Structure formats: C-alpha cells, structure tokens
Amino acid sequence: MSKSEDTESRTHDSSHDTKLMHIVAHTPRGKGILDCIQCGRCTSSCPMARQTSRYNPRRLMEMITIGLKEEVLSNTPWYCLSCFTCVDKCPQGADVGEVIFAIRNIAAREGHIPPGIKAQGGNIIDTGKISNPTKSILKQRQEMGLPEIEPSDTEELLKILRKTGFDKIIGHK
C-alpha cells in the first residue's frame, strides 16, 4: 500500500477534489456513483480484479467519493474490460461498469487517453472505421467472392464529429 493511500481516507488535504463525485454523478452514465454502498460484490466478481491488484472497481468508486482525482483519472479506469459482470451483480444499481465510462469521458477531456484508443478515434475521423483491411485482405476478399468494402462517407462523419467536439477531444487536426 502506498503512502498516499495509507492516509487518504482520514486526511482532507488539497489532493482531495470533493467536487469529483458530483461531476461524475452529472456525467451521462455516472449517476450510479451516488448509490454505491461499498459492498464489494463488483470486485468480488470482476475478472480484471483477479488478474491484477492494480484494478479494483469498488475501490475506484470509493476513490471517486473521496475525491482522489489524480488516481481516478490516470490509467486506472482503462483496465476495465466493459464485460458488465459488475452491472449484473451490483445490488444497488450503482453499476461501476457504467460509471467507468463517465470517468473515461472526463479523463479524455483532460487529455488522459491511452494511445490505442486515441488511434481508434483518429481512424474513425479519417476512414469512418476503426479497423481497415490490408491490401492482401482485399485480395483475399476478391478470391473468396466477398463483396467490396464500401468507403464510409467521411465528410458526413466529420460534420457530426466537429459538432460534438470529438475532433478536439482527441486532438485531431
């Protein structure tokens, strides 16, 4: 256990952002934070928490409540598999698996985005898809008699994504 973790629940120093919980609660998908009773059923069932002690969804909810913004917005939420096991189990409908998206949305606006996810965002703007076929795949499709892949209407998509501010979030030029 790190030093900061050791003292956090007792002290009220400047690293505690007491507004965090309210910001999360008002973010789409984030209102569950208000219902959590810290029962631990999510972590008890979470497949990711069994792989690494760095990830603990109940603890994440606790950290949001306490206002440990740094930890909450850093790489912690990106461990989640979005497998929604916790959502099925949560007795209070607090649904950590959903709240994670609220946190990630906030993190993204503050510039914390893992490179792989940022690349997905860039691909969508550029091609309308997150994964595109290689030349050899295109050849194989022909060989198998599969229909051609239509290009997406990237102009239309750019209109949408400019309107929502998506391009700015991922720093796309």
Partner 1 sequence: MKDSKSVLVVGGGIAGIQASLDAADRGFKVYLVEKTPSIGGRMAQLDKTFPTMDCSICILAPKMAECYRHSNITLLTYSEVQDAKGSIGNFEVAVLKKARHVKEDKCVGCGICTEKCPVKVPNEFEMGLADRKAIYMPFPQAVPRLTTIDEENCLFFQKGTCRVCEKLCEAGAIDFDEKPEEIVLNVDAIILATGFDVFNPKAITAYGYGKYKNVITAMELERLICASGPTDGYILRPSDGKEPESVVFIQCVGSRDQRYNPYCSSICCKYAIKDAVLIREHHPEIDTYVFYIDLRAFGKGFQEFANRSKEEYGINYIRSNPGEIREDPITQDLTIWYEDTLTRTIKPLTVGLVVLCTASIPRPDNKKLSELIGVELDDLGFFRASHDIDHPVDLTVPGVYGCGFCLGPRVGDIPHSVMQAGAAVARMSEELAGMEEA
Partner 2 sequence: MKYAFFIGCLVPARELSYEFAARKILPTLDVELVDMHGANCCAPFGIQSLDYISWLALATRNLCIAEEMGLDILALCSDCYESLLMTNTILKENSDIKGQVNEVLSEIGKEFKGEIEIKHMIDVLYEDVGPEKIKNAVVTPLTDLKVATQPGCHLVRPKMLHFGSVGGYDELDELVRATGAEVIDYDGKEICCGGPIRDTFDKYSRSLINQKIKAMKKANVDCAVTICPFCFLQLDLGQREIQTRFKEELNLPIFHFPELLSIALGFKLTDPQIRDHRISINHILEKYNGYEVSS
Tell me which residues touch ligand SF4 (CB under 6 A): 36-42, 46-48, 57-58, 61, 80-86, 89-90, 92, 94, 96-97
One character per residue 7-46, x = contact with partner 1 (rule: CB under 8 A): ------------------------------xxxxxxxxx-
Q: How far is the CB of 129 from ligand SF4 (least distance, A)?
A: 25
Q: Which residues ranging from 87 to 116 are in contact with partner 1 (CB under 8 A)?
A: 89, 91-93
How far is Cα 74 from Cα 59, in angstroms, rounded to an integer?
14
Structure tokens at 61: 């909810």
How far is Cα 166 from Cα 120, in angstroms, rounded to an integer?
12
Structure tokens at 49: 């928490």
Q: How many residues does the chain have?
A: 173
How far is Cα 14 from Cα 158, in angstroms, rounded to an integer?
40
Provide the 8-state DSSP code for 151.
Answer: P
The residues that touch partner 2, with contacts defined as CB under 8 A, are 27-29, 47-48, 51-52, 78-85, 87-88, 95, 97, 101, 104-105, 108, 113-114, 116-117, 120-121, 124, 128-134, 137, 140-141, 143-144, 146-147, 149-150, 152-153, 156-157, 159-161, 163-166, 169-170
> Which neighbouring-strand residues pair with 68?
16
